[in-house]
Structure 1
Amino acid sequence: MDFGLSQEQQQLREEVRRFGENEIAPVATEYDTEEAYPYDVMDKAAEMGLLGAHFPLEYGGVDYSSLENALMIEELFAVDPGIALCITSAGFGAEAIIEFGTEEQKENYLPPITDGEAVMGAAISEPHAGSDVSSVSTRAEKDGNEWVLNGTKMWITNGSVGDYFVVMCETDPDVDDRYAGFSQIIVESDRDGFEADKITGKMGIRASDTAELILDDVRVPEENLVGTCGMGFLQVMEFFDETRTAVAAQGVGIAKGANERALEYAKERKQFGREISDFQAIQHKLADMHIQTEAARNLTYKSAWSVDNEADSLTALASMAKEFASRVATHCADEAVQVHGGAGFVNDHDVERLYRDSKITQIYEGTTEIQKNIVARELLGKGA
């Protein structure tokens, strides 16, 4: 197996990290404190080609492979997870359009993302339907040549800043199969009856926008249906294999950022007349953090490779990578705070923010417990 990166991939990593250090790091604390969406940074990210970078070339993207997308995510999240999430999720939900959408949908909704002119989101979760996607109750009923949507979506990334959303909804409530009868429909945020209520007071990723969406008799044309009616659940499950790999890359990035800061601080901080890096207790922490991060990185890259090569083991690998990398992220962020001691408990150092930001990787795109259920199911052969 070839574990090396190509020269182009190495260059990608360096350029993205340089962008993060120059454009994100100086303003990260400000946007976190104010819980504000970083529009100015997003404009610069668009100029760099970082928005929707994995989109096909013909729709404005750079056509990054899943591995290259993981490299970009890792480097951005090592600098600041909040703003990094804004950049990497500007086209959240676009995978459904790329994979199942019509040519017209692709031409209408993808280029504005890469140009920095629009932001989109995927509206799946609801107040009573998080991990259990098959319990989604938002309804879409056909009325002539329109769909009429009613329901509430919760914890939606880009919810109050998004221009359009791919909404998971129930289109055939009478179907016998609990996994059928769902569809994905594109809903523009300027439609009558659409309302977004920004959620504040989050523990972490505070620069990233999160909102509750209310759909009250929202009407969209029938051509806003993505793919085949009734296939929405299966579309979302395929979507998760890719997004869970991306979350694993987020975890690796957070761990990397925590490790770098802990190592730097350990070589600077002195106690008892010596740098604290001279003490074996600190050395063991640093070694353990780097060992676990490298293991998470390799599992994540393997999952990304499996996305690109459509490997049969992808579903299990994506869940393993997401579960392990998110656990490593929280562990390394925790240890980085510990290495900093009291200084790590205040926002004078980035590790405090990384510590808060890391936890979400164990929750969104399926909780840690759900990932273990999936891996066990795959091992036992009880379903795809």
Structure 2
Amino acid sequence: MLLTEQQEMIQMVAKRIAKEKIALSAKDVDEGGHLSWENVRIMGENGLFGVHVPEEYGGVGSDMVSHVAVVEEIAAVCASTSVTLSTQALTIAPFLIAGTEAQKRKYVTPLATGQVLGSFGITEPGAGSDVSSLKTTAVKSGDSYILNGHKVFITNAGESEIYVFVTRTSEERTRGISLFVVEKGTSGLTFGKKEDKMGIRGSVTREIFLENVVVPKENMIGEEGHGFKVLMNVFNETRPVVGAQATGIARGAYEYCLNYVKERKQFNRPLHQFQMVQAMLADMAMRIEASRLLVWKAASLIDQNSPNVIAQSSMAKCFASDTAMEVTTNAVQLLGGYGYIKDYPVERMMRDAKITQIYEGTNQIQRIIIANQLINQD
């Protein structure tokens, strides 16, 4: 699958920014465990947050294929910064899928231009893979809704200005779910401590508490009780983005490793001359290429509004994230003792890769989704 001229141009812009700007701070971002607002500024000024967003809402007006190509380029040098991109897309998605025109203009435009960051509050202490068991409530009161609940593992929590929350508006499992947008500073919206994570340490993760948070009814995204359907459509669009992130992490580790084995010598021979090393490199390269093609295919199906996107999105996310874990682990192995030292980037990439198998639906859940789609297809 080849990129169009526009898609290729957008990818090249992202590649240049990644190499000349984002890569320079990747080590410091990881070690400091902080969000890089400088990287946010750089990506915003270059339109990377809104690549797939229509121009009328502040975006570039391209497509999902371009977006995943951009995410891969950023992830290849700094996974933490790529999470900022993917989370912004996650927050934008429900507005583009089910938002009103007023909501799109009010919220999508500042998100797409990078003026503010956004967060999507889905996960709860008792609701991870099983979203339908969430407990956060939204109770109607006149022309408003009152939100109460507890969200965990929320990316950019405390840093974002715009929050989308998945809530329960009735006791029905899937038909009782609704989405609301809440702005930072709203009374009753508070944040927990910053989580100390194994990987993607330059992406801030916190708990969120909602205590009698009052929002007007116009802050509901879509219709009451239709939130689960919107959420599933959001995941169909964002899982390939995680696949792109995973592909980028794997590629970054592979490229570093390839250069290393060309220079490193053992038994008076460069490492790349040993057949076992060659076989590992070949497997790494094949899996990365296959991951990218799966991701691009899923993204192209999204652009075509294809009904077959569900299985393809899960395949892309699952295969690419498994690939990222395998490739980064092998990269550490090929660097030997040096691979285990923080002076070399592959140990960071290995830590970063693990989360891609977990968020946006664990890979165990992805396999169930894929199997169900295969069994039930016409």
TM-score range, shorter chain: over 0.9
Output the CA distance in 1 between the equivalents of 2:208 and 2:324. 30
Give the 5 Å matches for 1:270-289. Answer: 270-289=265-284
Describe how 1:165-314 pairs up with structure 2 within 5 A. 165-173=163-171, 175=172, 178-314=173-309
Q: Does 1:159 align with 2:154?
A: no
Counterpart residue identity of residue 115, structure 1? T
For the pair 1:329 / 2:324, whether they are aligned, the reply is yes
Q: Check conservation: 1:52, 1:88, Cα contact below 8 A.
A: no
Q: Which residue matches 2:9?
A: 11
Deviation at 1:38, TM superposition (A): 0.5
- Counterpart for residue 372 of structure 2: 377
2:311 match: 316
Structure 2 contact 89–238 (Cα < 8 Å) conserved = no
* Mapped contact 1:266–1:277 kept (Cα < 8 A): yes
Given that residues 31 and 38 in structure 1 are in contact (C-alpha distance below 8 angstroms), is that contact kept between their aligned partners in structure 2? yes
* TM-score for the superposition, normalised by structure 1: 0.96
Name the counterpart of 1:111: 109
Shift of 1:91: 4.4
Q: Contact conserved, 1:323 with 1:371, CA < 8 A, in 2?
A: yes
Aligned partner of 2:90: which letter? Answer: F
Report the secondary structure of 2:76's partner residue.
helix
Give the partner amino acid of 1:88: S
Rate the CA distance shift 1:87–1:319 in 2: closer, same or farther, 3 A: closer
| Contact 2:53/2:63 (<8 A) preserved | no
**Matched-pair contact (CA < 8 Å) for 1:120–1:162:** yes
CA distance in 2, matches of 1:107, 1:74: 28
TM-score by length of 2: 0.97
Greater than 3 Å deviation, 4+ residue runs = none
* Residues in 2 aligned to 1:290 and 1:91: alpha-carbon distance in whole angstroms: 28
Counterpart pick for 2:76 among 75, 78, 93: 78
Verify: 1:356 aligned to 2:356, yes or no.
Answer: no
- Paired positions, count: 378
Give ranges in structure 2 of 5+ residues lacking alignment.
none
Question: How big is each residue's C-alpha offset from its partner over 1:263-314, in whole Å with a ceiling of 9 and x where there is no partner?
Answer: 0101111112111111111111100100111111111111111111122221
Distance in 2, matches of 1:379 and 1:92, equals 26
Q: State whether residues 113 and 119 of structure 1, in contact with CA within 8 Å, keep that contact through their aligned partners in structure 2.
A: yes
Q: Which amino acid aligns with 1:184?
A: L
Displacement of 1:155 in angstroms is 0.8
Unaligned residue ranges in structure 1 (runs of 5+):
none
**Counterpart selection for 2:143 from 142, 145, 169:** 145
Aligned AA for 1:222?
A: K
Match of 1:214, SS state, is strand
1:346–1:352 Cα contact (<8 Å) kept: yes
Deviation at 1:115, TM superposition (A): 3.1
User: In 2, Cα distance between the equivalents of 1:368 and 1:50?
Assistant: 28
What is the root-mean-square deviation of aligned Cα atoms in Å? Answer: 1.3
| C-alpha separation in 2, matches of 1:325 and 1:43 | 28
Query: CA shift at 1:9, angstroms?
Result: 2.1
Superposition map of 1:100-139 within 5 A: 100-139=98-137
Q: Is the 8 A contact 1:91 1:119 kept in 2?
A: no
